[in-house]
A and B are shown apart, each in its own frame.
Chain A
Amino acid sequence: MSTLFQPLSATSAAVGDDVGQSFTFPAEQPLKLDSGEGLQALTIAWKTFGTLNAAKSNAVLLCHALTGDQYAAGVHPVTGKPGWWPFMVGPGLPIDTNRFFVICANVIGGCMGSSGPHEINPATGQPYGLSFPVITIRDMVRAQAMLIDHLGIETLFCVAGGSMGGMQVLQWAASYPERVFAALPLATAARHSAQNIAFHEVGRQAIMADPEWNGGDYITKGTNPRKGLAVARMAAHITYLSEAALHRKFGRNLQDRAALSYRFDADFQVESYLRYQGSAFVDRFDANAYLYITRAMDYFDLAADYGGVLANAFRDTKTRFCVASFTSDWLFPTAEAKKVVHALNAAGANVSFVEFTTDAGHDSFLLDVPEMFQTLRGFIEAAASARGLPAKGA
């Protein structure tokens, strides 16, 4: 795809334009899933930025959100646009690719090369479709741990991510406390709320109501539930923004017209914007992957794995945490972040917590928020110093 007409951030070209790597684990190393099933021939696709130091002590794992992938920085090979964390990851940025070896892997269940419903099941030669086992956030993290083992890295300097990525950060800290030196969960929660499950269910029903979904068998039947997936994305996209952000961006402005049409065209700019978001999304995402990943988020309830007491998930942890939330995020509101902080305090963990004032909603963690960068730089800098990594510019 041509990148000529896409705006690229100044840092994009500098952090590598290769499409990344992938590895298929041998049959004797299946991924054991929470459902009780095992996933044979686990494939993980990932991308790295920067260089691993000799002591292997400067690795940072980025965990992507629901519709993200391994292309956190640089140019995305499908969309031609910058990766999903352009302000955070790159040379000289808070997650500095000149200092850190940054790893970002496509989650299992995804559709950018890791094992998922969109991929070919090696046992049958057919796409998995709905025969792919239902996976959880903990399964995603187990798969990432297998990748980190494969890369020969014992301890990650930092695990960072927002939203579903933040869930994975919390799961990493709970499952592998000795392998996580610092944890940066942003705009996230230790469990998916009823309201968030409800939003996801709307999206899944939209996909499954599209006749082209064909019971999940659309790849072999040569169809594609584009409309269903686009509606799912449109509904979800609203939850990533805020009333204030929508008003600021669009108000009640009309789209390419001077008066109301008295029809059901996209009269309003906000309608046109959502339709664009929906149609752009289906070009890069798989409908079944959307079902699987939203399910994984819905199933996430970290405390439930620890007798209902979240603090027990972090007992005796040595990991340094920086939890952050955003005032306008109504999908993962500050109250959810505070529950995590409360549990970390109860566990005696080393934790900082900041609520950033923004009006951009849940997506704020992906945007240009200078106060966030300043704070996270400080946290990362102090953690790097405690880890014995050379100071910036040294």
Chain B
Amino acid sequence: MLAKLTPLRKDLLHIAAMVPGSARLLDVGCGSGDLIEYLARAKGCDARGIELSQAGVNACVAKGLSVIQGDADTDLSEYPDASFDFAILSQTIQATRKPKDVLDQLLRIGKRVIVSFPNFGFWKVRLKLALTGRMPRTGALDYAWHETPNIHLCTIADFVGLTQEIGARVERSLAVNEAGDVRELSTPGYWDNLTAEGAIFLLTRRAS
């Protein structure tokens, strides 16, 4: 018998809610596979994953998930165009070497792309840097500067800028607060960039 599903982290639940049942999707940086396991088992999706760490891949395959050990920065080019209904990049973009190229690849292989990330424009982050003069450590970003895997942190405003630069259309944007609850944004503005601890974006490639 299959083991009971692990309860999904709140931010992942919001991502899962964006994905219709039986969609074909790729979760890039899927960790130990909580999101794809949920989408496969609770929503009947054809859910695949890519994960860099051997421990993560082992955990996924041991759960019966289809996961490939690979690197978002190098291995996305191997997938054909539009091979997935959704390409998901959850809390991973800030850890890639070339976020712009990764996002570009995701928009190529996925008909829709979901990206979630911690917002470096969150007021607590800004305040910590302003008051202490040291790299801020917060709940979502709790690493010393010299050992953080998050090498390309951005704010919501930065991310919106990137979507415009690469010609992506923002279909939906959600602000995530510290409790993990979300608020739908019509257009992310100054206030949202200050008050959201994180964000979730649903993107498509702008028709050229």
* Interface positions of A (Cβ within 8 A of B): 320, 322, 338, 341-342, 345-346, 348, 350-357, 371, 374-375, 377-379, 381-383, 385-386, 391
Contacts and interface: CB of A to CB of B under 8 A. Distances in A.
Contacts of B67: 352-353
Interface stretch (B9-17, B57-65, B177-185): B57-65
Interface stretch (B77-85, B121-129, B154-162, B164-172): B77-85
Contacts of B70: 338, 353
A393 to B, nearest CB: 11
The residue in B61, B63, B67, B80 that gathers the most chain A C-beta atoms within 10 A of its C-beta is B61
A351 B64 contact: no
Interface string B68-91: 111000010011100100000000
B78 A345 contact: yes
B5 interface: no
B54 interface: yes
A322 B78 contact: no
Contacts of A353: 57, 67-70
B1 interface: yes
Contacts of B58: 354, 371, 374-375, 378
B150 interface: no
Contacts of A352: 57, 60-61, 65-68
Contacts of B78: 338, 341-342, 345-346
A378 B2 CA distance: 11
Nearest to B80: A346
Interface in B125-158: none
Nearest to A380: B64
Contacts of A379: 61-62, 64
Contacts of A383: 64
A371 B54 contact: yes
Contacts of A355: 54, 69
A356 B60 CA distance: 14
Nearest to A350: B66
9 contacts: A341-B68, A345-B79, A350-B66, A352-B67, A352-B68, A354-B57, A356-B54, A378-B58, A382-B64
Given A345-B80, A353-B69, A357-B54, 9 more contacts: A345-B78, A350-B66, A352-B60, A353-B57, A353-B70, A354-B61, A374-B58, A378-B61, A385-B2
Nearest to B1: A391
B28 to A, nearest CB: 13
Contacts of B75: 338
Contact of B64 (A348, A371, A385): A385
A378 B63 contact: yes
B2 A354 contact: no
A357 B83 CA distance: 30
A374 B66 contact: no
Nearest to A378: B62
A49 to B, nearest CB: 24
A378 B64 contact: yes
A345 B70 CA distance: 13
Contacts of A382: 63-65
Contacts of B64: 378-379, 381-383, 385-386
A244 B61 CA distance: 28
Contacts of A378: 58, 61-64
Name the 5 nearest CB pairs between A and B, nearest first: A382-B64, A378-B62, A353-B68, A342-B78, A375-B61
Interface in B39-67: 54, 57-58, 60-67
B62 A374 contact: yes
